[in-house]
Amino acid sequence: MKISAMKISTKLAAGLLILMSATLAQTGLAEDLTVKDGVFTAEQVASGQQVYDAQCKTCHNMRFYRDTLRSWNNQPLLYLWENIMGTMPADNPGSLMFEEYTDVIAYILSENGFPAGDLKLDPDNGMDSIKILSP
Ligand code: HEC
């Protein structure tokens, strides 16, 4: 548990650096995105649906996720990712791959009306500056 927590924070630190240089290169300005800005791809939604059906559907329905997004309004999407990764599936927390947790979030956002786009959702790259909005 300790080791994986360390790994994650190293990855996050690396991700932050990548984000900062990418943002500077693209716009010269650090701009915050929201889940409305096409921050995940259609491919992520499709694979997230498979993860969701296999790992999440038995215990929650979409109504539950809608309420969750509502209560996380304005929080960085990375925090929700970390929360889900650390606690879900409730009967086997942390058992999925990073990418599966990421894709399942893309699917949940899509089901709640947020658009897919050109950006690939990536916990190592900028997810801390994407804000959750209430659906
Ligand atoms: C074995 C049952 C079970 C499975 C499978 C499961 N969950 Fe949960 N989940 C729970 C319980 C219990 C809670 C906490 C009580 C509650 O909020 O209803 C919870 C809470 C949550 C929350 C609320 C977090 C918060 O703090 O607001 C989210 C989001 C969530 N689960 C997502 C998922 C996702 C995504 C999956 C699939 C990867 C999943 N769950 C699979 C039982 C489950």
Boundaries of every domain in the chain? 32-131
pTM to 2 decimals?
0.82
Tell me the CA–centroid distance for residue 88 and ligand 1, in Å: 6
User: Residues lining ligand 1, judged by CB closer than 6 Å?
Assistant: 55-56, 58-60, 68, 83-84, 88-91, 104
Phi, psi at residue 76, to the nearest 5°? -65, 135
**Residue 23: band (very low, low, confident or very high) from pLDDT cuts 50, 70, 90:** low
Nearest Cα residue to atom 43 of ligand 1: 90
Among 30-39, 49-58, 69-78, whose mean pLDDT is lowest? 30-39
Give the mean model confidence (pLDDT) for residues 80-95. 97
Nearest Cα residue to atom 36 of ligand 1: 56
Give the mean model confidence (pLDDT) for residues 121-125. 95
Name the residue of 85, 88, 111 to mutate for ligand 1: max ligand atoms within 8 A of Cβ: 88
**Position 21 pLDDT exceeds 70:** no
Give the mean model confidence (pLDDT) for residues 126-130. 95
Report the pLDDT value the prediction gives residue 32, as an integer from 0 to 100.
85
Tell me the torsion sign for CA atoms 15, 21, 23, 26. negative
Task: Compute, in degrees rounded to 10, the torsion defined by CA atoms 113, 101, 52, 73.
Answer: -30
- Per-residue burial over 17-52, b if 16 or more Cβ lie within 10 Å, else e, is eebeeeeeeeeeeeeeeebebebbbeebbebbbebb
Residue owning tokens 């650096």? 17
Greater pLDDT, 85 or 21: 85
Half-sphere exposure of 119 (CA within 13 A, CB side): 21
